[in-house]
Amino acid sequence: MAKLLVADDLVPIRQMVRITLSTQGWTIVEAKNGNEALDLVRSEKPDLVLLDVDMGPGPNGFDVCRQIKADQATKDIPVVMLTAHESDSDRAIGFAAGATQYLTKPFGPLELIDTIRGILAHS
Amino acid sequence: MNPDDTKKMVETVDVSPAMPEAPSGAASPDVFRQLLHQAVRVADLSNAQAMRMAMDFAKVYEREQGVRKEFELQLRQMALMEKQATRYAEDLAQMLRTERERRHELERALEQERIANEELRRTGLQGISHLLLAATIKDRTTGDHLLRVRRYVEAIAERLGLPADLVEEFGYSSVMHDVGKIHTPDHILQSEHHLSDDEFDVIKKHCTDGEKMLGDARFFEIARGIAREHHERWDGKGYPDGKKGDEISLAARIVSVADVFDALTSKRPYKDAWSAEAGLEAIEKGAGERFDPEVVSAFVGLSREGAVDRIRQEVAATSSEQNGSSAK
């Protein structure tokens, strides 16, 4: 059973993501900011990370993604950006930081499930 | 409405962590239902309406007071949450619609299958009545005999506790027990004298002939067993195969009792009709030898309750009714 980390500063978003993904039998770990996300990625070794970009003080989602990819121990964990930043330049930044997929808010439940399922199937 | 309140409310929502194991294929309807159920709760709590009001108030506040900065972040988050909740509601409603359509399609398909099955059944029953017409004309067996046998068989089967659809199947299958006699030469079939061994061997063939005539359709499966085995005996001394006990199908064991009882209590060219009491006595004597004891005791029970007499009277009444109307 896959373990997923979701990092977002908004409780309702984390709630929605958790509800949606737990229907697939996946375990969800939650982080409410960038630093917490980095700690949990190292300690929990999730199978996939979902990252918001703006998460209040501390590193933003792009920074977190770069650090995950820079660390030998975590660089193979796929990262999905989940953010309201929908411009092409933001997407480019996300992919340059090492993200596997880039989803924009508002996201639909099936879109989220299918994206994650696809990535998990390939890794 | 303060967004912090929204957060607090949402945080207090109890989402059971023990979700059922997800199916490995596409998301199942159960998942959709769960998602919708949960999303409705979250959407409720996010209270999009309240957020819109807050933002409207904020606009007015900004215009009046010229201060927006301090609320900027909260307002942006609320706007995002509102869009997010709307998107979820739309997606889930769409899933629900799709699921409903699929269910309707399934129901339609089932209904069509039911109609097709019913049609097939009617065709089968119609085929039976033609077959029987031919057989009865030749054998001089009356339709009344077949009707009584059928009613006895259904009553016995019901008393033995068989399910209703099997009772019906035993019933319509029983009327075909002698269809094989179509192949039996008239002079043997209608002979009023004692038959020679050779002639009796010819008679015996009606069991296997009947089975063959009934083809290989599932509809006639029980009927084929009855046609072949209704002259078998519980003690193994019957024909054509000398099967005994449970080797003989239950339907055939039941028909055997019903057929013999009705033959005994009916008038034939070579004999008078026995009384019901005498017929029943003969059947009881045959328990464990010619007949399955359980079937016999079911039949005896029916007789004690008056069911056998009732069937005889009812069949006699409908036949005299028909004769009366055809005479006019």
- Please indicate if any CB of chain A lies within 8 Å of the CB of B114: no
Query: Chain A residues with CB inside 8 Å of B87's CB?
Result: 106-108
pLDDT in tens, B17-41: 444 444 444 555 666 667 666 666 6
Contact flag B84-A24 (C-beta cutoff 8 Å): no
- Please indicate if any CB of chain B lies within 8 Å of the CB of A19: yes
CATH code for the domain of A37: 3.40.50.2300
Q: How many residues appear in chain A?
A: 123
Range of the domain at A52: 3-122
In this prediction, the answer to ipTM > 0.90 reads: no
pLDDT for B18 equals 42
Task: Answer whether residue B50 shows pLDDT above 90.
Answer: no
pLDDT for B67 equals 56
Total domains, chain A:
1
Count of CB pairs separated by less than 8 Å, A with B:
77
Query: Chain A residues with CB inside 8 Å of B15's CB?
Result: 15, 18-19, 22
Instruction: Return d(Cα B286, Cα A67) in angstroms, integer.
Output: 93
Task: Answer whether residue A66 shows pLDDT above 80.
Answer: yes
Instruction: Return d(Cα A21, Cα A47) in angstroms, integer.
Output: 13
Query: Chain B residues with CB inside 8 Å of A19's CB?
Result: 15, 35, 38-39, 42
User: Domains of chain B (ranges plus CATH)?
Assistant: 3-13+25-101 (no CATH), 120-319 (1.10.3210.10)
pLDDT for B122 equals 82
Contact flag A12-B81 (C-beta cutoff 8 Å): yes
Single-letter residue type at A86: E
pLDDT in tens, B116-164: 888 888 887 777 777 777 766 666 666 788 889 999 999 999 999 999 9
- Please indicate if any CB of chain A lies within 8 Å of the CB of B21: yes
- Please indicate if any CB of chain A lies within 8 Å of the CB of B10: yes
pLDDT for A80 equals 97
Query: Chain A residues with CB inside 8 Å of B34's CB?
Result: 23
Instruction: Return d(Cα B55, Cα B49) in angstroms, integer.
Output: 10
pLDDT for B179 equals 84
Instruction: Return d(Cα B247, Cα B170) in angstroms, integer.
Output: 17
B156 closest CA partner among B296, B279, B293: B296
Contact flag B95-A24 (C-beta cutoff 8 Å): no
Q: Among residues 53-82 of chain A, which lie with CB inside 8 Å of chain B?
A: none
Task: Answer whether residue A52 shows pLDDT above 60.
Answer: yes
Sheet of strand A101-104: strand arrangement? A27-31, A3-7, A48-51, A79-83, A101-104
B48 pLDDT band (50/70/90 cuts)?
low
Residues in CB range of B139: below 8 A, 6 or more apart: B178, B181, B189
A37 closest CA partner among A13, A15, A67, A12: A67
Instruction: Return d(Cα B196, Cα B181) in angstroms, integer.
Output: 18
Residue A96's CB is within 10 A of a number of other CB atoms, namely 11
**Average of pLDDT values for B239-253?**
94
Q: Choose the closest CB to A23 out of B34, B81, B85.
A: B34
Contact flag A23-B42 (C-beta cutoff 8 Å): no
